[in-house]
Amino acid sequence: MIIRVLLVLAAAGAGLSADQVDLGERYTVTVCLESAGSFTLSRASSLVSKMYAAIGVEIDWRWPRNCPTVAIRVTMQGFSFPTEEPHSLAYAMPYQGTRIVIFFDRVQQAVDPRRVPALTAHVIAHEIGHILEGVIRHSASGVMKAHWDEDDFSEMAWKPLPFAPIDVALIHQGLLRRAGLVAKSH
């Protein structure tokens, strides 16, 4: 594991992007969406799958009635109170390990309506990243950036923001930890 993290850090120092780092591992993560059927969520879940596939992670999307207890659960909250995580589009509970809340009203207000599916995908991918990394930390750029700016919003409308190599390493490390926890719970 330490060698893998060092390999990714060395790749980052060499200026390689996350999709140029081959960790050789493939993982599957089960993610349950509370809402189903909308165009926005259909488009967003497809984009999230592509973003994670680029770093060796398959997303197994499920709906609430078919959701295992160890799955990551994404709640699409239609209304948020101003005092509830102010200035955030969502939050994750990485130390709890399975819960994500998306403030969908804020996502819809943040960008032009045509960009809502792409932003929704990035918000979901970002919060899944927190759960998988197991910590609240942010990168200087890309999917795990703390606050996206107009340049980021414009880029994500055309192509997904990348994961930084350190995030790829932390996600893979977190997946190994989760696999150990899942094996112990059965």
Mean pLDDT, the chain, integer: 86
25-35 confidence digits (pLDDT tens):
689 999 999 87
Q: Kindly give, in sequence order, each residue whose CB lies less than 8 Å from that of residue 183, ignoring residues fewer than 6 positions away.
A: none
In degrees rounded to 5, what are phi and psi of residue 127? -70, -35
Which pLDDT does position 163 carry in this prediction?
Answer: 98
Which ranges of the chain have pLDDT less than 50?
Answer: 1-22, 186
Which pLDDT does position 182 carry in this prediction?
Answer: 55
Helical residues (DSSP H) of the chain, grouped into ranges:
2-13, 39-53, 104-110, 116-133, 150-158, 165-185
Q: Could you tell me the fold of the domain covering 24-178?
A: Collagenase (Catalytic Domain) (3.40.390)
Which pLDDT does position 19 carry in this prediction?
Answer: 47
In angstroms, rounded to a whole number, what is the distance separating the alpha carbons of residues 60 and 55? 15
In angstroms, rounded to a whole number, what is the distance separating the alpha carbons of residues 22 and 117? 29
Q: What is the DSSP string of 149-183?
A: -HHHHHHHHHSPPPPPHHHHHHHHHHHHHHHHHHH
Taking CA atoms, 55 is separated from 5, 25, 106, in Å, by: 14, 9, 28
Cβ atoms < 10 Å from Cβ of 34 = 15
Give the domain ranges of the chain: 24-178
Nearest alpha-carbon partner for 131 in 181, 161, 92:
92
In degrees rounded to 5, what are phi and psi of residue 38? -80, 150
In angstroms, rounded to a whole number, what is the distance separating the alpha carbons of residues 20 and 124? 23
Q: Kindly give, in sequence order, each residue whose CB lies less than 8 Å from that of residue 71, ignoring residues fewer than 6 positions away.
A: 30, 31, 32, 62, 98
Which pLDDT does position 29 carry in this prediction?
Answer: 96
Which pLDDT does position 67 carry in this prediction?
Answer: 93
